[in-house]
Amino acid sequence: MAELTTLARPYARAAFELAARDNALGQWSQMLGVAAAVSTQAAVRSLLINPALSAEQVATAFLKVCGEAVDSKIQNLVRLLAENRRLQLLPAVSELFEQFKAAREQSVDVEITTAYQISPEITAILTEALKTRLSREIRLATQVDEGLIGGAIIRAGDTVIDSSVRGKLNKLAESLSA
């Protein structure tokens, strides 16, 4: 995984700088997301690793699948990645781009998983608390996992706070077996 990130970083950085210069971070984000999603499809993945096809053939076929969802600048990125046999990096490029974008916007995506649906009031309180703790704007998404029994799991970037009953029971079981 680290190797893919290392290889993808220069492409993501260049894409981010171009998008920032053009004041088009949102559009680039969306188009890179489409290209990354296309690259993960099984039929497309087999196309990307086919040694019998030239880089231009791979890029042309890939861009046909993307259709009008990508503009000429993303098409140039796709051609460059194809020329360097790096189209499989598109998901990592898109992910890194999103990280650069979040850092620029001083925001973070936070996912809260709870055993039960939480009220809008609790969501607002959690958002404010996380905003204070992380010193960033919070884009909050909630989901329900009844297997947690109670409590919550909060994911914000690389930070994971597991205060679920299931998590605590797992820690207790580990400590008893050690």
Q: Whole-angstrom Cα distance, residue 31 to residue 49? A: 22
Half-sphere exposure of 18 (CA within 13 A, CB side): 16
Mean pLDDT across the stretch 28-53? 91
The residue written with tokens 């030239």 in the block is: 54
What integer pLDDT is reported at residue 96 of this predicted model? 94
The pLDDT > 90 percentage for the chain reads 58
Q: Whole-angstrom Cα distance, residue 19 to residue 167? A: 41
What integer pLDDT is reported at residue 2 of this predicted model? 59
The residue written with tokens 């559009």 in the block is: 27
Residue 83 has pLDDT above 80, yes or no: yes
